[in-house]
Amino acid sequence: MLEDGIVFSGIGFGYPSEIAGEVVFNTGMVGYTETLTDPSYRGQILCMTYPLVGNYGVPSFDVKDEYGLPKFFESDRIQVKALLIHDLSDVASHWSCVKTLDQWLYEQKIPGIYGIDTRELTKKLRVHGVMMGAIAVSDKGPVDDARMRKLVSGAKYEGLNFMPEVSTSKPQEYGDKDRPCVVLLDTGTKYSIIRNIIRTGFRVVRMPWDAPYEQIMSYDPKGVVISNGPGDPKVCTSTIKTATKLIKTSTPTLGICLGNQILALAGGADTYKLKFGHRGQNKPCVDLRNMQSYVTSQNHGYGIDPESLDGTGFKVWFANADDDTVEGIEHSSKPVIAVQFHPEASPGPYDCMFVFDRFKQIIDAGGRITDGVKAREKPKKKVTAEKKKKTTRKKEGRKVAKR
Protein backbone atom coordinates (compact mmCIF):
# COMPACT_ATOMS: atom_id res chain seq x y z
CA MET A 1 0.00 0.00 0.00
CA LEU A 2 1.34 3.41 -1.04
CA GLU A 3 0.78 6.61 0.90
CA ASP A 4 -1.97 7.67 -1.52
CA GLY A 5 -3.96 4.52 -0.65
CA ILE A 6 -3.26 2.55 -3.85
CA VAL A 7 -2.91 -1.18 -3.16
CA PHE A 8 -0.92 -3.76 -5.13
CA SER A 9 -1.97 -7.31 -4.29
CA GLY A 10 0.26 -10.30 -4.94
CA ILE A 11 1.74 -13.39 -3.34
CA GLY A 12 3.97 -13.10 -0.31
CA PHE A 13 7.36 -14.77 0.09
CA GLY A 14 10.28 -14.42 2.44
CA TYR A 15 9.40 -13.68 6.07
CA PRO A 16 5.75 -13.03 7.07
CA SER A 17 5.66 -9.52 8.59
CA GLU A 18 4.42 -5.96 8.17
CA ILE A 19 6.83 -3.14 7.54
CA ALA A 20 6.90 0.42 6.14
CA GLY A 21 9.54 2.42 4.30
CA GLU A 22 10.34 4.58 1.29
CA VAL A 23 9.41 2.78 -1.95
CA VAL A 24 12.06 3.04 -4.69
CA PHE A 25 12.83 1.16 -7.91
CA ASN A 26 15.98 -0.31 -9.47
CA THR A 27 16.30 -0.85 -13.24
CA GLY A 28 19.14 -3.39 -13.08
CA MET A 29 18.78 -6.74 -14.84
CA VAL A 30 21.14 -8.79 -12.65
CA GLY A 31 23.02 -8.66 -9.36
CA TYR A 32 20.21 -8.97 -6.82
CA THR A 33 22.53 -10.47 -4.19
CA GLU A 34 24.83 -7.43 -4.37
CA THR A 35 21.90 -5.02 -4.65
CA LEU A 36 20.00 -6.34 -1.64
CA THR A 37 23.12 -6.15 0.54
CA ASP A 38 24.00 -2.57 -0.46
CA PRO A 39 23.75 -0.43 2.74
CA SER A 40 22.54 2.53 0.65
CA TYR A 41 19.11 0.83 0.60
CA ARG A 42 18.69 1.03 4.37
CA GLY A 43 15.17 2.16 5.26
CA GLN A 44 13.76 1.48 1.77
CA ILE A 45 11.35 -0.95 0.13
CA LEU A 46 12.86 -1.96 -3.20
CA CYS A 47 10.97 -2.67 -6.43
CA MET A 48 12.97 -4.50 -9.10
CA THR A 49 11.85 -3.57 -12.62
CA TYR A 50 13.38 -6.65 -14.28
CA PRO A 51 10.45 -9.10 -14.46
CA LEU A 52 12.15 -12.34 -13.34
CA VAL A 53 14.20 -12.44 -10.15
CA GLY A 54 15.78 -15.35 -8.28
CA ASN A 55 16.65 -17.72 -11.12
CA TYR A 56 20.33 -18.12 -10.17
CA GLY A 57 19.65 -18.38 -6.45
CA VAL A 58 21.88 -17.16 -3.63
CA PRO A 59 25.54 -18.14 -3.01
CA SER A 60 27.16 -18.78 0.37
CA PHE A 61 28.43 -16.05 2.69
CA ASP A 62 31.25 -18.44 3.62
CA VAL A 63 32.94 -18.02 0.22
CA LYS A 64 35.58 -15.31 0.75
CA ASP A 65 37.82 -13.39 -1.61
CA GLU A 66 41.58 -12.99 -1.20
CA TYR A 67 40.98 -10.17 1.28
CA GLY A 68 38.72 -12.21 3.54
CA LEU A 69 35.53 -10.45 2.44
CA PRO A 70 32.34 -12.28 1.33
CA LYS A 71 32.87 -12.70 -2.40
CA PHE A 72 29.30 -12.32 -3.64
CA PHE A 73 27.85 -9.74 -1.25
CA GLU A 74 28.36 -6.04 -0.44
CA SER A 75 27.71 -6.21 3.33
CA ASP A 76 27.01 -8.86 5.94
CA ARG A 77 23.21 -8.81 5.61
CA ILE A 78 20.22 -7.84 3.48
CA GLN A 79 19.78 -4.08 3.85
CA VAL A 80 16.41 -3.42 2.13
CA LYS A 81 13.31 -3.45 4.35
CA ALA A 82 11.27 -5.43 1.80
CA LEU A 83 11.41 -6.61 -1.82
CA LEU A 84 8.80 -6.15 -4.58
CA ILE A 85 9.10 -8.17 -7.80
CA HIS A 86 6.93 -9.32 -10.68
CA ASP A 87 7.87 -13.00 -10.98
CA LEU A 88 9.74 -15.08 -8.37
CA SER A 89 11.73 -18.00 -9.73
CA ASP A 90 11.13 -21.02 -7.51
CA VAL A 91 13.83 -22.94 -9.37
CA ALA A 92 17.39 -21.69 -8.84
CA SER A 93 20.28 -23.00 -10.92
CA HIS A 94 23.90 -21.85 -10.65
CA TRP A 95 27.20 -23.46 -9.66
CA SER A 96 27.44 -21.19 -6.57
CA CYS A 97 23.79 -21.52 -5.48
CA VAL A 98 23.17 -22.82 -1.94
CA LYS A 99 19.62 -21.50 -1.39
CA THR A 100 16.73 -19.77 -3.14
CA LEU A 101 15.89 -16.09 -2.88
CA ASP A 102 12.76 -17.03 -0.91
CA GLN A 103 14.82 -18.99 1.63
CA TRP A 104 17.38 -16.20 1.95
CA LEU A 105 14.74 -13.55 2.67
CA TYR A 106 13.06 -15.83 5.21
CA GLU A 107 16.35 -16.44 7.05
CA GLN A 108 17.03 -12.69 7.21
CA LYS A 109 13.43 -11.91 8.23
CA ILE A 110 12.75 -9.76 5.17
CA PRO A 111 9.24 -9.78 3.60
CA GLY A 112 8.72 -9.92 -0.15
CA ILE A 113 5.81 -9.90 -2.58
CA TYR A 114 5.60 -11.14 -6.17
CA GLY A 115 2.91 -11.21 -8.82
CA ILE A 116 2.35 -7.45 -8.70
CA ASP A 117 2.50 -5.10 -11.67
CA THR A 118 5.98 -3.68 -11.07
CA ARG A 119 5.79 -1.75 -14.36
CA GLU A 120 2.69 0.15 -13.18
CA LEU A 121 4.26 0.77 -9.76
CA THR A 122 7.45 2.11 -11.36
CA LYS A 123 5.50 4.39 -13.71
CA LYS A 124 3.61 5.75 -10.70
CA LEU A 125 6.85 6.47 -8.81
CA ARG A 126 8.36 8.17 -11.87
CA VAL A 127 5.37 10.50 -12.22
CA HIS A 128 4.73 11.19 -8.54
CA GLY A 129 8.23 10.65 -7.15
CA VAL A 130 9.28 8.22 -4.46
CA MET A 131 6.54 7.52 -1.91
CA MET A 132 6.20 6.00 1.52
CA GLY A 133 4.58 2.60 1.52
CA ALA A 134 3.96 -0.51 3.56
CA ILE A 135 4.06 -4.22 2.78
CA ALA A 136 2.23 -6.99 4.59
CA VAL A 137 3.00 -10.67 4.14
CA SER A 138 0.50 -12.68 6.14
CA ASP A 139 0.38 -16.39 6.96
CA LYS A 140 -2.55 -16.03 9.37
CA GLY A 141 -5.40 -14.74 7.25
CA PRO A 142 -6.42 -11.52 5.45
CA VAL A 143 -4.41 -8.32 5.74
CA ASP A 144 -6.03 -5.55 7.78
CA ASP A 145 -6.30 -2.48 5.50
CA ALA A 146 -6.86 -0.11 8.42
CA ARG A 147 -3.66 -1.29 10.10
CA MET A 148 -1.79 -0.88 6.83
CA ARG A 149 -3.00 2.71 6.41
CA LYS A 150 -1.86 3.49 9.95
CA LEU A 151 1.52 1.89 9.25
CA VAL A 152 2.01 3.97 6.10
CA SER A 153 0.92 7.24 7.71
CA GLY A 154 3.43 6.79 10.52
CA ALA A 155 6.35 5.91 8.24
CA LYS A 156 9.28 8.29 7.80
CA TYR A 157 12.49 8.37 5.75
CA GLU A 158 13.68 11.94 5.29
CA GLY A 159 15.66 13.37 8.18
CA LEU A 160 16.50 9.96 9.66
CA ASN A 161 20.12 9.14 10.48
CA PHE A 162 20.87 5.56 9.40
CA MET A 163 24.60 5.82 10.13
CA PRO A 164 24.56 3.92 13.47
CA GLU A 165 22.87 1.02 11.64
CA VAL A 166 25.24 0.78 8.66
CA SER A 167 28.63 2.05 9.85
CA THR A 168 31.31 0.10 11.68
CA SER A 169 31.41 0.72 15.43
CA LYS A 170 35.22 0.52 15.69
CA PRO A 171 38.24 0.75 13.38
CA GLN A 172 38.87 -2.33 11.22
CA GLU A 173 41.90 -3.04 9.03
CA TYR A 174 42.10 -4.88 5.70
CA GLY A 175 44.98 -5.80 3.44
CA ASP A 176 48.74 -6.04 3.85
CA LYS A 177 49.84 -4.19 7.00
CA ASP A 178 53.17 -3.30 5.38
CA ARG A 179 51.44 -1.19 2.74
CA PRO A 180 50.64 2.52 3.12
CA CYS A 181 47.29 3.34 4.67
CA VAL A 182 44.10 4.79 3.23
CA VAL A 183 41.34 5.57 5.72
CA LEU A 184 37.80 4.65 4.66
CA LEU A 185 35.14 6.72 6.41
CA ASP A 186 32.32 4.19 6.61
CA THR A 187 28.98 5.88 6.00
CA GLY A 188 27.54 2.59 4.72
CA THR A 189 30.36 1.22 2.61
CA LYS A 190 30.16 -1.63 0.13
CA TYR A 191 32.80 -4.36 0.36
CA SER A 192 33.84 -3.72 -3.24
CA ILE A 193 35.09 -0.25 -2.31
CA ILE A 194 37.44 -1.90 0.19
CA ARG A 195 38.52 -4.40 -2.50
CA ASN A 196 39.41 -1.65 -4.96
CA ILE A 197 41.36 0.45 -2.50
CA ILE A 198 43.45 -2.64 -1.70
CA ARG A 199 43.75 -3.38 -5.44
CA THR A 200 45.48 -0.05 -6.00
CA GLY A 201 48.21 -0.90 -3.47
CA PHE A 202 47.01 0.29 -0.08
CA ARG A 203 45.83 -1.21 3.17
CA VAL A 204 42.45 0.01 4.40
CA VAL A 205 41.54 1.30 7.83
CA ARG A 206 37.75 1.38 7.99
CA MET A 207 36.55 3.91 10.54
CA PRO A 208 33.15 4.91 11.99
CA TRP A 209 31.18 7.57 10.11
CA ASP A 210 31.65 10.12 12.93
CA ALA A 211 35.38 9.61 13.42
CA PRO A 212 37.00 13.03 14.02
CA TYR A 213 39.76 14.41 11.82
CA GLU A 214 42.41 13.96 14.53
CA GLN A 215 41.64 10.24 14.90
CA ILE A 216 41.89 9.76 11.14
CA MET A 217 45.25 11.52 10.99
CA SER A 218 46.61 9.33 13.81
CA TYR A 219 46.90 6.52 11.23
CA ASP A 220 49.08 8.74 9.01
CA PRO A 221 46.97 7.98 5.94
CA LYS A 222 48.07 8.69 2.39
CA GLY A 223 44.46 9.56 1.61
CA VAL A 224 40.85 9.28 2.76
CA VAL A 225 37.82 7.74 1.04
CA ILE A 226 34.29 8.72 2.10
CA SER A 227 31.95 5.89 1.17
CA ASN A 228 28.45 5.46 -0.16
CA GLY A 229 25.51 5.18 2.25
CA PRO A 230 21.81 5.76 2.86
CA GLY A 231 19.68 8.81 3.52
CA ASP A 232 20.02 12.57 3.47
CA PRO A 233 23.68 13.71 3.48
CA LYS A 234 22.79 16.72 5.62
CA VAL A 235 22.21 14.52 8.68
CA CYS A 236 25.87 13.41 8.56
CA THR A 237 27.03 16.54 10.39
CA SER A 238 30.07 14.87 11.99
CA THR A 239 31.28 13.54 8.64
CA ILE A 240 30.74 16.93 6.98
CA LYS A 241 32.81 18.59 9.71
CA THR A 242 35.62 16.07 9.18
CA ALA A 243 35.41 16.48 5.39
CA THR A 244 35.75 20.26 5.77
CA LYS A 245 39.09 19.77 7.54
CA LEU A 246 40.21 17.26 4.92
CA ILE A 247 39.61 19.86 2.21
CA LYS A 248 41.28 22.69 4.13
CA THR A 249 44.37 20.60 4.88
CA SER A 250 44.63 19.40 1.26
CA THR A 251 44.37 15.75 2.27
CA PRO A 252 43.92 13.54 -0.83
CA THR A 253 40.25 12.56 -0.64
CA LEU A 254 37.85 10.51 -2.76
CA GLY A 255 34.08 10.62 -2.24
CA ILE A 256 31.72 7.96 -3.59
CA CYS A 257 27.93 8.44 -3.84
CA LEU A 258 26.96 9.78 -0.39
CA GLY A 259 30.62 10.74 0.00
CA ASN A 260 30.28 12.92 -3.11
CA GLN A 261 27.39 14.83 -1.52
CA ILE A 262 29.18 15.13 1.83
CA LEU A 263 32.26 16.67 0.20
CA ALA A 264 30.05 19.14 -1.69
CA LEU A 265 28.36 20.19 1.57
CA ALA A 266 31.75 20.44 3.29
CA GLY A 267 32.93 22.76 0.53
CA GLY A 268 29.92 25.04 0.95
CA ALA A 269 27.60 23.71 -1.78
CA ASP A 270 24.04 22.43 -1.32
CA THR A 271 22.22 19.15 -1.94
CA TYR A 272 18.59 18.31 -2.70
CA LYS A 273 16.33 15.27 -2.96
CA LEU A 274 15.77 13.89 -6.46
CA LYS A 275 12.25 13.11 -7.62
CA PHE A 276 12.80 9.36 -7.90
CA GLY A 277 16.57 8.96 -7.77
CA HIS A 278 19.00 6.96 -9.89
CA ARG A 279 19.09 3.24 -9.14
CA GLY A 280 20.35 0.75 -11.68
CA GLN A 281 23.32 -0.36 -13.76
CA ASN A 282 22.60 1.51 -17.00
CA LYS A 283 23.01 5.20 -16.11
CA PRO A 284 25.00 7.17 -18.72
CA CYS A 285 27.52 9.72 -17.47
CA VAL A 286 29.89 12.02 -19.34
CA ASP A 287 33.44 12.77 -18.18
CA LEU A 288 33.64 16.51 -18.90
CA ARG A 289 37.44 16.42 -19.13
CA ASN A 290 37.35 14.55 -22.44
CA MET A 291 33.60 14.14 -23.20
CA GLN A 292 33.90 10.36 -22.88
CA SER A 293 30.61 8.63 -22.01
CA TYR A 294 30.35 5.78 -19.52
CA VAL A 295 27.54 3.47 -18.47
CA THR A 296 27.53 3.42 -14.68
CA SER A 297 26.03 1.66 -11.68
CA GLN A 298 24.10 3.97 -9.35
CA ASN A 299 22.02 4.00 -6.19
CA HIS A 300 21.13 7.38 -4.74
CA GLY A 301 18.14 9.60 -4.03
CA TYR A 302 19.92 12.93 -3.44
CA GLY A 303 22.04 15.12 -5.69
CA ILE A 304 24.25 18.22 -5.70
CA ASP A 305 22.80 21.58 -6.73
CA PRO A 306 25.14 22.62 -9.57
CA GLU A 307 24.54 26.35 -9.09
CA SER A 308 25.63 26.08 -5.46
CA LEU A 309 29.12 24.96 -6.55
CA ASP A 310 30.00 28.55 -7.53
CA GLY A 311 32.66 29.90 -5.19
CA THR A 312 33.35 26.54 -3.53
CA GLY A 313 36.43 25.64 -5.55
CA PHE A 314 34.62 22.60 -6.92
CA LYS A 315 33.71 22.12 -10.56
CA VAL A 316 31.60 19.45 -12.22
CA TRP A 317 33.63 16.41 -13.26
CA PHE A 318 30.85 14.10 -14.49
CA ALA A 319 27.36 14.97 -15.72
CA ASN A 320 24.37 12.66 -16.21
CA ALA A 321 23.59 12.30 -19.93
CA ASP A 322 19.87 11.79 -19.24
CA ASP A 323 19.03 14.71 -16.94
CA ASP A 324 22.25 16.78 -16.61
CA THR A 325 22.48 16.18 -12.84
CA VAL A 326 25.91 16.35 -11.21
CA GLU A 327 27.59 12.92 -11.26
CA GLY A 328 31.01 13.93 -10.01
CA ILE A 329 33.04 16.90 -8.77
CA GLU A 330 36.71 17.80 -8.54
CA HIS A 331 38.42 20.62 -6.70
CA SER A 332 40.30 23.15 -8.79
CA SER A 333 43.25 23.46 -6.39
CA LYS A 334 42.89 20.72 -3.75
CA PRO A 335 43.50 16.96 -4.21
CA VAL A 336 39.80 16.18 -3.73
CA ILE A 337 37.66 14.27 -6.23
CA ALA A 338 34.27 12.58 -5.96
CA VAL A 339 31.74 10.67 -8.04
CA GLN A 340 28.01 10.19 -7.58
CA PHE A 341 27.94 6.79 -9.27
CA HIS A 342 29.59 3.56 -8.06
CA PRO A 343 32.99 3.09 -9.78
CA GLU A 344 33.35 -0.26 -7.98
CA ALA A 345 30.09 -1.43 -9.65
CA SER A 346 29.04 -4.74 -8.02
CA PRO A 347 26.63 -5.10 -9.62
CA GLY A 348 27.09 -3.34 -12.93
CA PRO A 349 29.75 -2.44 -15.49
CA TYR A 350 33.38 -2.06 -14.44
CA ASP A 351 34.08 0.77 -16.91
CA CYS A 352 34.82 3.36 -14.21
CA MET A 353 37.41 1.51 -12.14
CA PHE A 354 39.82 4.22 -13.31
CA VAL A 355 38.37 6.53 -10.63
CA PHE A 356 40.30 4.54 -8.00
CA ASP A 357 43.40 4.65 -10.19
CA ARG A 358 43.12 8.42 -10.55
CA PHE A 359 42.89 8.69 -6.76
CA LYS A 360 46.11 6.67 -6.50
CA GLN A 361 47.75 8.96 -9.08
CA ILE A 362 46.84 11.98 -6.94
CA ILE A 363 48.36 10.31 -3.88
CA ASP A 364 51.50 9.29 -5.79
CA ALA A 365 51.82 12.85 -7.11
CA GLY A 366 52.18 14.10 -3.54
CA GLY A 367 48.64 15.39 -3.25
CA ARG A 368 48.67 17.36 -6.47
CA ILE A 369 45.47 17.30 -8.54
CA THR A 370 45.95 15.33 -11.76
CA ASP A 371 43.80 14.91 -14.84
CA GLY A 372 44.82 11.36 -15.57
CA VAL A 373 43.49 11.67 -19.14
CA LYS A 374 43.93 13.78 -22.21
CA ALA A 375 41.15 15.06 -24.39
CA ARG A 376 40.56 12.79 -27.33
CA GLU A 377 41.36 14.24 -30.74
CA LYS A 378 40.04 12.67 -33.89
CA PRO A 379 42.88 12.18 -36.41
CA LYS A 380 42.47 14.23 -39.53
CA LYS A 381 41.91 12.01 -42.56
CA LYS A 382 43.47 12.82 -45.90
CA VAL A 383 40.81 13.03 -48.60
CA THR A 384 42.03 12.01 -52.05
CA ALA A 385 40.47 13.11 -55.35
CA GLU A 386 39.12 9.57 -55.88
CA LYS A 387 37.43 9.59 -52.44
CA LYS A 388 35.86 12.95 -53.25
CA LYS A 389 34.39 11.47 -56.44
CA LYS A 390 33.01 8.45 -54.53
CA THR A 391 31.43 10.72 -51.92
CA THR A 392 29.84 12.85 -54.65
CA ARG A 393 28.46 9.75 -56.40
CA LYS A 394 26.97 8.47 -53.10
CA LYS A 395 25.28 11.81 -52.45
CA GLU A 396 23.86 11.91 -55.95
CA GLY A 397 22.66 8.33 -55.56
CA ARG A 398 20.80 9.27 -52.35
CA LYS A 399 19.19 12.23 -54.16
CA VAL A 400 17.97 9.96 -56.96
CA ALA A 401 16.64 7.41 -54.49
CA LYS A 402 14.81 10.14 -52.59
CA ARG A 403 13.21 11.50 -55.80
What values do phi and psi take at 395, rounded to 5?
-65, -45
Distance of alpha carbon 205 from alpha carbon 209, whole angstroms? 12
| Residue of 45, 79, 343 whose CA lies nearest to 188 | 79
Q: Is 44 annotated as a binding residue?
A: no
Q: Which of 86, 278, 331, 342 is catalytic?
A: 342
Rg of the Cα atoms in the chain: 24
- 245 Rama sector, left if φ>0, alpha if ψ -120 to 50, beta otherwise: alpha
Q: Is 231 annotated as a binding residue?
A: yes
Q: Is 261 annotated as a binding residue?
A: yes
Residue 342 catalytic?
Answer: yes
DSSP collapsed to 3 states, 63-77: CECCCCCECCCCCCC
Q: Is 141 annotated as a binding residue?
A: no
Q: Is 40 annotated as a binding residue?
A: yes
Q: Is 31 annotated as a binding residue?
A: no
Q: Which of 34, 74, 330, 344 is catalytic?
A: 344
Residue 236 catalytic?
Answer: no
Q: Residue 174: in which H helix or E strand, if any?
A: strand 172-174
Q: Which residues of 287-313 are buried (b: 16+ CB within 10 A; e: fewer)?
A: beeeeeebbbbbbbbbbbebebbeebb
Mention every residue, 6+ apart, whose C-beta is less than 8 A from residue 106.
13, 14, 15
Q: Is 229 annotated as a binding residue?
A: yes
Q: Which of 236, 257, 285, 352 is catalytic?
A: 257
Amino acid at 345: A
- 258 Rama sector, left if φ>0, alpha if ψ -120 to 50, beta otherwise: alpha
Q: Is 301 annotated as a binding residue?
A: yes
Say if residue 366 is exposed, middle or buried (CB neighbours under 10 Å; 0-12, 13-18, 19+): exposed
What count of Cα atoms within 13 Å lies in the side-chain half-sphere of residue 361? 11
Residue 330 catalytic?
Answer: no
Pairing of strands 87-88, 131-136: unpaired
* Known binding-site residue numbers: 40, 229, 231, 258, 261, 299, 301-302
Q: Which residues are annotated as a binding site for L-glutamine?
A: 40, 229, 231, 258, 261, 299, 301-302
Active site residues: 257, 342, 344
